[in-house]
Amino acid sequence: MNYQEYIRELTAAADSPKAAILASCKKNGKRAVGWVAPYAPEEIIYAAGCIPVGLWGGEAELKKARTYLPPFACSIMQSIMEFEANGTYDDIISAVVIPAPCDTLKCFGQKWKGKCPAVRFVHPQNRHVPGANEFLVAEYEHVRKCLREILGAAITDEELSDAIRLYNDYRFAMRTFTHVASEHLDVITPVVRHKIIKASFFMDKKDYLQLINGLITELRKQPRNQWSGRKVVITGITFEPEALLKVFEDYNVAVVADDIAQESRQFRTDVPFYGTPMQSLAKQWQIHEACSLAFDANKRRVEYLTELVRANDADGLVIGLMKFCDPEEYDVPIIMQACEKAGIPLLNIEIDQQAAGVGQNRTRIQAFVETMA
């Protein structure tokens, strides 16, 4: 396959999640298990012989969700609520795993309206104290126990270790991909980049890994640095709807690196070797840094972002601020200060998955591009 074919296959999966998931299930003789954004121990699902499917909302017309959530819940949760209530997930997933890193998700896990059973867990926030690892191991053991009961799967430690190895390979490949992509910005446009990364939520990771590694190999055969437009780093929870990324393309702006929860934050931190497989999985959360969702009184995310801009020779930083997302919103003033101090042009765009059009954001992006000139 040449690089265009790889791109076509991956972006097609992102464009049609349901078809991609069902095809991957059929091909591998597996069932799918959903997990709600932003973080879940996918390895446990994978070790259960299932395909983990990341639920990150999407464009949806809110009808039923309006009954269950006030309008000031973030749009990802509004969309997922709509999908779970209108049956979108029913014939796809056999169970769903729901984390609780914010008030919205704490409540959300208690009110799943889909047909399949929900498994809830919570990450510790005091991540560096004695007891944090044990607590998260207990939470993950709870997930394992529930999934065993629901799916009738064994989920042995050996299966878990295998899953961790595969996922670490996937993470490594993704970090490589984002790097290689930054050298081929003419091909890997913002929309394409987003779709390629997103496709990993809708297929067996071992199949995805083959595709992404194939793409990396083919991309490397192409001439590098053919890009003459502007380059930005993006940060936030998600940068959907896609139309927003398309506006960047319209103004000749490429995404050179990201700190998006749906994208790089998923694969930034490997699962280290740390005792048992469960202890290792738990340790990953403890060493996961520079994320708005993981407590850090040093707020290393701020430095991480300015450094990401510099290291990638980017022209500016764009915050895709998920509307009504507390963890992200609290970081904004501090990121603003840091960018001002570092002389980094900054644009703050509101993210609403249900937004009908890009509207004002087009004007703002255009103005921002001019300031970077």
Partner 1 sequence: MGEIINESMTSREMLDILVSKNMEDARQAKKDGKLVCWSSSIAPCEFCETMGIYTVYPENHVVGIAARRGAPELLEYAERKGYANDICGYARANLAYMDVQKCVSEEMPLPDLVMYCNNICETLVKWYENIAYTLNIPCLVIDVPFNHEDEISQANVDYVKKQFGTVIGQLENITGKPFDYDRFQEVMKIASQNANDWYDATMLCSAVPSPLSGFDMFNYMALIVCMRGRKECGMTFRKLKEELEGMIARGECGMKKAEEKYRIMWDGIACWPYLSHTYKVLRDQGVNMTGSTYPSAWALRYTPGNLEEMARAYTGMGNNLSLKGQTDLRKGIIRDTKCDGVIMHMNRSCKMCDFLQHEIGQELSSSLGVPITTFDGDQADPRNYSKAQYETRIEALVEMMAEQKGE
Q: CA dihedral in degrees (27, 28, 30, 36; nearest 10)?
A: -90
The 346-351 sheet, strands edge to edge: 253-260, 230-236, 316-322, 346-351
Region near partner 1 per CB under 8 A, out of 99-107, 168-176, 194-202, 264-272? 99-107
Shortest approach of partner 1 to residue 260 CB, angstroms?
18
Region near partner 1 per CB under 8 A, out of 109-117, 155-163, 171-179, 205-213? 109-117
**Dihedral sign from CA coordinates of 77, 270, 53, 11:** positive
Long-range contacts of 64-73 (CB under 8 A, 24+ apart): 64/113, 68/111, 68/113, 72/324, 73/104, 73/324
For the chain, the distance separating the N- and C-terminal CA atoms, rounded to the nearest angstrom, is 38
The contact pattern for partner 1, residues 129-168, with x = CB under 8 A and - = no contact, is xxxx-xx--xx--x--------------------------
3 vs 140, which CB is nearer to partner 1?
140
The contact pattern for partner 1, residues 235-274, with x = CB under 8 A and - = no contact, is ----------------------------------------
Nearest in space to 151 (alpha carbons), one of 46, 43, 39, 18: 46
User: Is residue 114 part of the contact set for partner 1 (CB under 8 A)?
Assistant: no
Query: How far is the C-alpha of 234 from the C-alpha of 42, rounded, in Å?
Result: 25
228 vs 298, which CB is nearer to partner 1?
298
Shortest approach of partner 1 to residue 226 CB, angstroms?
37
292 vs 353, which CB is nearer to partner 1?
292
Q: What's the distance, CA 24 to chain centroid?
A: 20
Shortest approach of partner 1 to residue 203 CB, angstroms?
29
Count of residues near partner 1 by CB under 8 A:
52
Shortest approach of partner 1 to residue 217 CB, angstroms?
42
139 vs 258, which CB is nearer to partner 1?
139
Region near partner 1 per CB under 8 A, out of 159-167, 186-194, 262-270, 329-337? 329-337
Query: How far is the C-alpha of 366 from the C-alpha of 371, rounded, in Å?
Result: 9
243 vs 332, which CB is nearer to partner 1?
332
Query: How far is the C-alpha of 108 from the C-alpha of 51, rounded, in Å?
Result: 23
DSSP at 143: H
Residue from 154, 311, 334, 356 in contact with partner 1 (CB under 8 A): 334
Residue from 72, 152, 223, 359 in contact with partner 1 (CB under 8 A): 72
Residue from 13, 32, 47, 73 in contact with partner 1 (CB under 8 A): 73
Alpha-carbon distance values, 117 to 29, 84, 88, 150, 204 (Å) = 21, 12, 15, 8, 21
372 and 230 Cβ atoms separated by less than 8 Å: yes
106 vs 268, which CB is nearer to partner 1?
106
DSSP at 278: H
Residue from 3, 267, 324, 368 in contact with partner 1 (CB under 8 A): 324
CB atoms within 10 A of CB 304: 16
Residue from 36, 45, 47, 69 in contact with partner 1 (CB under 8 A): 69
**Dihedral sign from CA coordinates of 28, 163, 110, 262:** negative
Contacting residues toward partner 1, per CB under 8 A? 67-70, 72-73, 100-104, 106-111, 120-126, 129-132, 134-135, 138-139, 142, 292, 295-299, 321, 323-324, 326-327, 329-334, 336, 348
